[in-house]
A and B are shown apart, each in its own frame.
Chain A
Amino acid sequence: MDLIAVMAVEFLYAVASLVLISAGLAVVFGMMRVINLAHGEFMILGGYVTITAVNLGVNVFIAMVIIAPLAVALIGVVVERLVIRHLYGRLVDTMLATWGLSLFFIGLVTVIFGNTTTGISTPIPGFAIGDYRINGYSFFIILVAVLLLAAMAVILRTTRFGLIARGTMARPDIAAALGHETERIYMATFAVGSALSGLAGAVLAPLVGLVPGSGAAYIAKAFITVIAGGPQLLAGLMSSATFFGVVNQLFTFTISPVIGEVALLVAAVILLRMLPRGITGRFFRERSS
């Protein structure tokens, strides 16, 4: 019984962290058809901002939920203005340039923080269920993911930005019809996406020690969750996060955490092979015709 409770929490946590990891990438890719290979580094920047703020004496929750997203959004805007906006419509070139950004940020973080593990302690203590210990912080991650999904749902349904976003995601060609507004919308989208990445990196930071290369671990997961999800932003995010989260945890429990990660990636390759348009439909047009 206790074991089931613990496992349920672990599964939920796995799904929630995938939602968090992928949300920023999903927004940017869904609306702008930009695959941001620096997504993982945006996340660890969020983590480093949090750690720095905490070391400066800021409350850890304020650092994670407010300061980190804002700081990374700012970085995102700078990146969008300097690099991304010159490459709209050139998907492969954007991937390459953002890969360059990824290396650049890895280098930058190495220069500033050194090539060592930096971390902060988990702000919520663990507790025991029967014989098992459970990480209290997992609940916080789950809570943040749920709130994030709810907020996204509300924004998509009720605001003008949400309306435009839904339109663009359903019909990419509509973006052209937005005329001169496109620039501003893209910039705003990229800022929002970056903020989400920053938030994710920040709230996950206490669980994992940060090294400059940590981002690589996130990018693959975020990638496959987004692509496998398909064009329905929320439904896609939730369904593929659930699928991959469960696969990951099953193998983690039965074999080992590393095999869990490998299983997740292998599942992704197989899923893409079987459902080339993602779980919720078509992202990319079919190859021929």
Chain B
Amino acid sequence: MMAAAAVPIALLLPYVIDTYTLTVLAIYAMLALSLGLVWGYGGILCFGQAAFFGLGAYGYAVGAINIGESTIAMVVAVAASAAFAAILGAMMFYGRLGDVYLAIITLVVTLILYRFMSSTAGDAYVIGKARLGGFNGIPGFPTLHVPGDPSAYIWGDALYYLCAAILVLVLILVKLLLSSGFGRIAVGIRENETRMSLLGYDVRARKTLLFTIGAAVAALAGALFANWGEIVTPRLFGLTQSAEIIIWCIVGGFGTRLGPVLGAASMGYLKFLLGQQSLIDNTLVMGLILILVVLFLPRGLVPALAGLWDAAWQRVPARRVQRRRRDLV
């Protein structure tokens, strides 16, 4: 239903907002959805989703420079980031680290990538033909084109429609995943990990897999972002980027599919508006929003509005949850 509504919205929006901005909003929405999947449905407190976003972007840039073509570069970007997530996830989940460690390790890994990428200026840091370029990043890689026809670039409006279509597709896939056995079991694991392993489920393997899927979606968003910005820089791995993804999801509401998407789109647009003036600092506003939402609206907008809606129509209250309060155990 949501996907069906998304199509006309995606088609109508260009009459209101320019497609350049819309493209990045769609990409942000996809990125938020990836965290919404991992954290909201899997209960995995990933503080470093930006790592996979950034790796996707770098993977695309490096791939495109070396291959000289975009379709395989997209695949390379997603696969590289997913492989990285699989290794990291296996290390964390098989090590039975608690939630908070997980949050910290994912954050630290993001910082490592940031530090490392920032220090890659110079000729020593090349992958194939691509220079990593240190703090200035990698500009000038081939951008998306129609598969098989490297001269037919996809940019401008076309890039927006492509991103919107991919977003809708990802939404549908996420919905299918969540209603499948795998998704329902993932939610069971979020609710009670020990119980699920006592029922015979291999929690570690399943969390690793979900984490990897989330990373692949984030990497897809990152690769598209590289195409939108036409440059990749270490800032993609920055703490602010990591924080923003979480802010989008918390504002929208974890544990829903719509929440992260709407949160990302609205916060992303707010950021865009703030970027057009110099009176109020963008970071300051984002920080304030995060504090206020945690304090006053911890479940996020979408679940809160759904609750109001249900109350107005006297329906059974929407399912409680979705952010885990269980702390260290």
Measured CB to CB, the residues of A under 8 A from B are 35, 83, 86-87, 89-93, 95-97, 99-108, 110-111, 213, 216, 219-220, 223-224, 227, 256, 258-259, 261-262, 265-266, 268-269, 272-273, 276, 284-288
Chain B interface category by residue count: 35 or more
Q: A104-B284, A287-B329 known; 4 other A-B pairs, CB under 8 Å?
A: A92-B103, A100-B291, A106-B283, A262-B116
Q: Which of A35, A100, A102, A287 contacts B96 (CB 8 A)?
A: A287
A265 in contact with B112 given A91-B328, A99-B243, A273-B91 (CB within 8 Å): yes
Q: A96-B246, A103-B290 are in contact. Are A220 and B107 (CB under 8 A)?
A: yes
Residue B286 at the chain A interface, CB threshold 8 Å: yes
Residues of B within 8 A of A284 (CB): 98, 100-101, 328
Partner of B97, one of A100, A258, A261, A272: A272
Q: Are B45 and A92 in contact (CB under 8 A)?
A: yes
Residues 210-262 of B at the A interface (beta carbon under 8 Å): 238-240, 243, 246-247, 250
B325: interface (CB < 8 Å): yes
Cα A60 to Cα B282 in complex, Å, equals 33
- In the assembled complex, the CB of A63 is this many whole angstroms from the nearest CB of chain B, namely 26
- Smallest CB–CB gap between A30 and chain B, Å? 14
User: Which of B118, B285, B295 counts the most chain A CB atoms within 10 A?
Assistant: B295
Query: Is the pair A97, B324 in contact by a Cβ cutoff of 8 Å?
Result: no
- The docked-state distance in angstroms from the alpha carbon of A156 to that of B201 is 47
Which chain B residue shows the least CB distance to A263? B112
Q: By CB atoms of chain B within 10 A, which of A96, A104, A258 has the most?
A: A96
Q: Is the CB of B194 within 8 A of A288?
A: yes
The interface residues of chain B, by DSSP majority, are classed as helix
B residues with CB within 8 A of A: 45, 47, 91-92, 95-101, 103-105, 107-109, 111-112, 115-116, 118-119, 194, 197, 238-240, 243, 246-247, 250, 281-292, 294-295, 298, 323-325, 327-329
Q: Please tell me if the beta carbons of A227 and B104 are within 8 angstroms of each other in the complex.
A: yes
Question: A100 contacts B281, CB within 8 Å?
Answer: no
Q: Which residues of A contact B194 (CB under 8 A)?
A: 288
Q: Which residues of B contact A227 (CB under 8 A)?
A: 101, 104
Looking at chain A's contact residues, the main secondary structure is helix
From known contacts A273-B91, A284-B100, infer whether A86 and B295 are also in contact, taking CB-CB under 8 Å. Answer: yes
Contact A266 B112 (CB under 8 A): yes
CA distance A110 to B116 in the complex (A): 25
CA distance A22 to B64 in the complex (A): 42
Q: How far is the CA of A289 from the CA of B47 in the complex (A)?
A: 26
When the two chains form their complex, are residues B290 and A99 in contact, meaning their CB atoms are under 8 A apart? yes
- Minimum CB–CB distance from A231 to chain B (whole Å) comes to 13
B96 and chain A: residue at smallest CB distance: A287
Q: Among the listed B92, B95, B112, B287, which residue makes an inter-chain contact with A100, where contact means beta carbons less than 8 Å apart?
A: B287
Instruction: Report B-chain residues with C-beta under 8 Å of the C-beta of A95.
Output: 47, 100, 103
